[in-house]
Chain A
Amino acid sequence: MSNDAATAIPAVDGPQDPRQELPAHGLGASLPSADARAKTEGTFPYASDLWAEGLLWAALLRSPHAHARVVSIDTTAAADMPGVRAVVTHADVPGEATYGRTVADRPVFASDLVRHHGEAIAAVAADHPDTARLAAAAIAVEYEILDPVTDPEKAFAAPPLHPDGNLIRHIPLRYGDPEATGEVIVEGLYRIGRQDPAPIGAEAGLAVPRPDGGVDIYTASTDPHTDRDLAAACFGLAPEQVKVVVTGVPGATGDREDPGFQIPLGLLALRTGCPVKLTATREESFLGHAHRHPTLLRYRHHADAEGRLVKVEAQILLDAGAYADASSESLAAAVAFACGPYVVPHAFVEGWAVRTNNPPSGHVRGEGAMQVCAAYEAQMDKLAARLGLDPAELRLRNVLATGDILPTGQTVTCPAPVAELLQAVRDFPLPALPKDSPEHGWLLPGGPEGAGEPGAVRRGVGYAVGMVHMLGAEGADEVSTATVKVHDGVATVICAAVETGQGFSTLARQIVQETLGIEDVHVASVDTDQPPAGPAAHGRHTWVSGGAVERAAKMVRTQLLQPLAHKFGMSTELLQITDGKITSYDGVLSTTVTEAMDGKELWATAQCRPHPTEPLDDAGQGDAFVGLAFCAIRAVVDVDIELGSIRVVEMAVAQDVGRVLNPAQLATRIEAGVTQGVGAALTENLRTSRGLVRHPDLTGYALPTSLDAPDIRIVKLIEERDVVAPFGAKPASAAPVVTSPAAVASAVRAATGRPVNRLPIRPQSAVAVPTT
């Protein structure tokens, strides 16, 4: 990648070089991840690397149909194959037949109906992976193929796909005066595609039966305790008889290794009495896990002649796929943030999440918020064009600030520096045009060996601001528990918060370094024998698990210093720990940590529980969110206006982060989020035809490559501490994912003059002249 703009641009405010004059340890340090070396060298053990003596291999039989009645399942041929040790179907599930994170509506194995392409029907354990796969293929299933419901708009009137009905949730948000009208009205219809989390490592797991009749499941779960509880219920076991041991997580931007994967694995281990291993193929991974909700949005914005918003009317339809999963929360986010980080006096938003026979949707970071951001920002562009205003100026006239009220009736109490963020990206110098920097190669849309022609390339600049909620919403109990132990100069953190790549284990080390002054901190691996820490989602581990670690560390600190303080005749607050030495405030008295420990082991366990929230009521009103994070992005794109090929040249990001705890890690999170957003904007869409996934592979599903990833400039990080958050820090991963697709679309609009109302942006929507 060329770094052409960097030389031309003078230094700006904000952390340009995170390595400059920063502490080496503790909060604010760019401490590298402890497992970075092992991961780089390829020695880090992931679940797919696990092995146990005498293990069997599992394979799943998945439905080739999107919607069908299962007439009969005959496993005889499969069970008789040499090397096959067990075949299980719905009839072999000893406990609950269905499970689900919010509603138990998903069967472990389809019994009478299959409701999506790739739904599990049976599982096989055999002594060789090929035998297992062949045996799964030898299971004879007779289907009566049914008409799939694939258009979410038709789900309302369609016969119920599930005993619970087709409507998963409906939120009619009403705020203000329905009769209010503005002088200017703009309307739009927007479609957002199905993004897949596409983790680097596909799902994998190892289940080992225990002598007490229980089972241990080794897998890269991101929510081990929930997964354990769901699995135990299906096994008909007590939760204590099942242990989920979290192995290294090879990439997670959503839920990983959901119970639909763990339960068949555990069942086979319980059935055979042998360890059983299952590694998903890339195709299974695409078919099995939850995707971002494809969304249809209809908007009408009213504004006065100066461009101030008067009223927003919106209808939002989320395609949940066959099962509820996290759709309810996604819908709440979509409805609550339907107007964006803008002050809107009157808002009327109807949101629905409906069942279809499309691939399952669920938690993928920024869910709900990302889809509406693309739509409300498109509306803001339309409004600016109608009024002849600069798009950034129009946004600045409407931005939200602390103290304003969301359309849900919730007052924004946290820092909300939206105007400052937008100004920062607007005022950042634009990247040089290729003609002004001829010494650098110009990467044309279409790539280095592509068909791009400089004369057909137009440059566009677009803006977007986005918002996302932090932590679980609507009354979810977001508690986390952590234990800190100090012995022999080494501190150990025990917390069931899963390191998914978000950097929690590094942050935990920094927190303990900061509080106890001990450099050598070890973070224990996670299993469900530890107290629960909740799912790794919505930035909760930075907030609640980080908070729990800090409290536990402070308790250890008090235990350590109390006897000394007593001896010196001063309070513990007057003692400080640095570099393994304890000194009094005046420097007169001093001792080492080792001496103070006196061979003792110090333990403390603490919890962190943020203030409670409440569900949205019948009018979509309620204090549903613990905190909010904001982001502004300016996108610069080059578009070949004849071919419609797009290259994102630069993304300038300003983000509201509360406090920077680890500058290098924060930059990585923002870059990753922006890149995921660029994927959603340009290429990532898991296509289906009548409910069948058409290309479940990484050739058909085009992720951004290093050539597609733009130069990402972190222009400004606003460190206005959120007083209710531990350390004042806001989680940072989701906000750029939410905002960047809208920014790219805005820039393509500016380059081509086309409306761009669909994501990912198709080439035919980016050619300058409409096709006639």
Chain B
Amino acid sequence: MTLPATLDEAVAALTAMPAAVPVAGGTDLMAAVNKGQLRPAGLVGLGRVNEIRGWQYQDGHALLGAGLTHARMGRPDFAALIPALAAAARAAGPPQIRNAGTLGGNIVTAAPTGDTLPVLAALEADLVVAGPGGRREIPVTHLLAGRELLAPGELIGYVRVPLLHAPQVFLKATGRTGPGRATASVAVVLDPARRGVRCAIGAIAPMPLRPLEAERWIASLIDWDGDRGLAPEALTAFGEYVAAACIPDPPGEERLPPAVLHLRRTVAALARRALGRALS
């Protein structure tokens, strides 16, 4: 195991030993190792790369280090910047996991239930990837969808997130009151400058889903210069629009099984509640 002190050193270490695996919090990686599913030839520990453990500001955006832990993102100063990401970080697992698990890890694990992913999708975040050939930016959704992959020796260094200065909400439904994996999650962010509402649904598909038509429709109803309020019927209609877009009816006479119908109702309720809270 090597312990580089900078992002460039980490890239160099990975390039020098292509079979090595980068490890930050290890909450997913070590579980796979312990189960015997993964036997890395070497590890490049990112715990001492201090430059990716905080964040900085860059022309209206926050450049979030990939090594930010969920615990750090859940704190009030971060919540003031990107409220939905903070809420997702607070909802992710028990304290032990939040203390270790990182933002970058959540992205590369790309589990459907990854709590930060719908927020990043709704924020249309970009990844700053460091590699042997320098740095490049790719949209987070491209990585999650597999449209672009990390090349050997490449690492996620930063996540570029727009600072919208407007309400954002993240909600998730789980099977218990204590920490649990999401059965469905919703991120709703308002972008008053572009007069847009952006919404992403997590945990119901391999990657977060964006109901673009529903977003445009509801954004057209909002009085952006006024109090931004919406009638309850509009919120309900938005929820159902989102749910139908994410879980469409099967063609013909076929009907959705009861468990899927319940999931659709859950998505509708979450989207309605999330937008309602964002606009209240």
Contact = CB atoms under 8 A, between A and B. Distances in A.
Given A704-B176, A763-B262, A764-B258, A283 B35 contact: yes
Contacts of A706: 178
A403 interface: no
A450 B177 contact: yes
A443 B176 CA distance: 12
Contact of B179 (A451, A642, A705, A772): A705
B177 A443 contact: yes
8 contacts: A133-B36, A450-B174, A682-B175, A705-B94, A705-B179, A764-B262, A767-B265, A771-B258
Interface string A111-140: 000000000000000000000010001000
B176 to A, nearest CB: 5
Interface residues of B, number: 30
Interface string A254-287: 0000000000000000000000000001010000
B30 to A, nearest CB: 14
Contacts of B266: 642-644, 763
A451 B177 contact: no
Contact of B174 (A446, A456, A704, A771): A446
B207 to A, nearest CB: 20
A133 B34 CA distance: 11
A446 B265 contact: no
Contacts of B176: 447, 682-683, 702, 704-705, 707-708
Interface of A: 133, 137, 281, 283, 443, 445-447, 449-451, 453, 456, 642-645, 647, 682-683, 699, 702, 704-708, 763-764, 767, 771-772
Smallest CB-CB A-B distances: 4 pairs: A705-B178, A764-B262, A449-B91, A451-B171
Contacts of B178: 447, 704-708
Interface in B135-184: 171-181, 183
Given A644-B262, A771-B261, A708 B273 contact: no
Question: Do most interface residues of chain A lie in helix, strand or loop, or is the interface mixed?
Answer: loop
B89 to A, nearest CB: 9
A451 B173 contact: yes
Nearest to B178: A705
Given A704-B176, A764-B259, A449 B265 contact: no
Contacts of A647: 177
A198 B181 CA distance: 19
Contacts, number: 89
A280 to B, nearest CB: 13
Interface of B: 34-36, 87, 90-91, 94, 171-181, 183, 186, 258-259, 261-262, 265-266, 269-270, 273-274
A642 B177 contact: no
A450 B262 contact: no
Contacts of B35: 281, 283
Contact of A705 (B177, B181, B259): B177
Name the residue among B36, B87, B177 with the largest chain A CB count within 10 angstroms: B177
Nearest to B186: A451
Given A450-B172, A451-B173, A699 B181 contact: yes
A451 B183 CA distance: 12
Contact of A643 (B181, B259, B269): B269
Contacts of B87: 449
B177 A453 contact: no
B171 to A, nearest CB: 4
Name the residue among A137, A447, A647 with the largest chain B CB count within 10 angstroms: A447
Contact of B265 (A443, A645, A682, A771): A771
Contacts of A133: 36
B173 A767 contact: no
Contacts of B270: 451, 643
Contacts of B180: 702
A704 B180 CA distance: 10
A499 B35 CA distance: 31
Given A133-B36, A449-B90, A642 B265 contact: yes
Nearest to B261: A771
B91 to A, nearest CB: 4
A760 to B, nearest CB: 9
Nearest to A764: B262
Contact of A645 (B91, B173, B273): B173
B263 to A, nearest CB: 9
Nearest to B180: A702
Contacts of B183: 763
A610 to B, nearest CB: 40
Contacts of A699: 181
Contacts of A445: 177
B73 to A, nearest CB: 13
Given A446-B173, A705-B177, A705-B178, A453 B273 contact: yes
Contacts of B172: 449-451
A708 B262 contact: no
Contacts of A137: 36
